[in-house]
A and B are shown apart, each in its own frame.
Chain A
Amino acid sequence: MSTVFSEEQRDCLQELINVAMGLASDKLARFLNTFVHLQVPAIELVNSAQIPAQFEARYSNTEAALVSQGFLGNDGLRGEAIVLYQLDNAHRIAALLGYDTDSASELEMLTDISSILTTTFLNGLADQIDNSLSYSAPRVLSSRQNNVSEALQETAFHWELALKVDISYQLVDHSFNCDMLLLIPGEAVLNIQKILERILEEY
C-alpha cells in the first residue's frame, strides 16, 4: 500500500476506517449485548488475485463462512464487502443470541452480523466523505460444507483490487474473529486518492 498512497493519505484512510470501525463495534456490541475490545484494524490494499492465497492458511484448517454484500454510492463508488468468519465459536454465540443451534440459524446469525458490520462500517465511512451508499441483501457464499478458498477466488475474480481490513473482535466472554474485505474496481484507487487529498486539504 505504501507505493499507492503517500504517508499522509495512508494516515487519513486509517483514521476514516478507525472511526467507521468504532461505529460498527458499538452496533455489534449492542447486538451481542456485550463489550467489544476495539483494536486498530490493519489495512492493506492488494490485488484481488492475491486474496485467496493470503487467506488460505488462516481458513483452510478451520470451518469458515463467507458472507458478501454489494454496495453502490455516488461518484462511481461501488464494490463488494466480504466478511469471513472462523466458525469455532459461532454455535456458542448463536446460542447466546437466542438463535436456534441448527446450521440454517447459524447462517442467519452470520448474515445478521455481516449486515450490521458491513452497513454500519460503510455508512460511517461514507458519512465522513460526504457520500451515501445503498446495499444489496447479504448473501452467504460459503458455509461449513464448502471450500472457502474457492468461493473467495470466484468472488475476487470479478474485481481488481481489495482493501483488506483485518478485524479481530475480542468479546468479553468469547473470542470472535472475522476479516472484512472490500473488493473494489481498479479505477477506485484514483477516486480514493482524490477523496483523501480533498480531506487533507481541509485540515
Chain B
Amino acid sequence: MALPVLICDDSLLARKQVRKSLPESFDADILTAGNGVEALAILRSQEIGLVFLDLTMPELDGIGVLEAIKQDGLDCFVIVISADIQPEMQKRVTELGALAFVHKPVNPEKLVVILKQYGLI
C-alpha cells in the first residue's frame, strides 16, 4: 500500500527536487505544503507516514512544525531537508524527534540510504 508522504517547503523548486530524488521503488502518495501552517493542517486532518520538512519558511518554520508534531503526539516520521546546515540546528531537530537531517540541495543517494535505514523502502 502506498505510504502517504508530505513534502513541505516554501520553494516550488525544492519541492520538485525532493520529489525527483525519491527512488522509483518508493511507493508513495505525495502531498505538498508551502509552509508550516499548511503542513500542520494536513497532518492534523489525515494520516501521513513521512514528512520531508524544510526549516526556513514563512508563516511557521520547520522548528515550529516539529514542536507541534511533538506536542500533539502526531504519529509520523520526519526527515528534515535544510539549507541551514549548522551542527547546532541538526542537534535541535534531532532532539525534537526528526529521524534525519539532510542538507540541501538534496542528494538522491543519501536519501535512499536513509529511507532504507528506516525500512521505508
Binding site for B on A (CB under 8 A): 8, 11-12, 14-15, 18-19, 21-23, 25-26, 29, 35-36, 38-40, 128, 199-200, 202-203
Contacts and interface: CB of A to CB of B under 8 A. Distances in A.
Given A15-B14, A35-B88, A39-B56, A128 B105 contact: yes
Given A18-B56, A22-B104, A203-B20, A29 B86 contact: yes
For the complex of A and B, 5 pairs with smallest distance between CB atoms = A22-B83, A203-B16, A15-B11, A38-B84, A15-B13
Contacts of A8: 12-13
18 contacts: A11-B11, A11-B13, A15-B11, A15-B13, A18-B11, A19-B104, A22-B84, A22-B85, A22-B104, A23-B83, A25-B86, A26-B86, A35-B86, A35-B88, A36-B86, A38-B86, A40-B10, A199-B13
B17 A203 contact: yes
B84 to A, nearest CB: 5
B12 A19 contact: no
A167 B11 CA distance: 19
Chain B's interface size range is: 20 to 34
Nearest to B83: A22
Contacts of B104: 18-19, 22
A36 B87 CA distance: 11
A38 B54 CA distance: 13
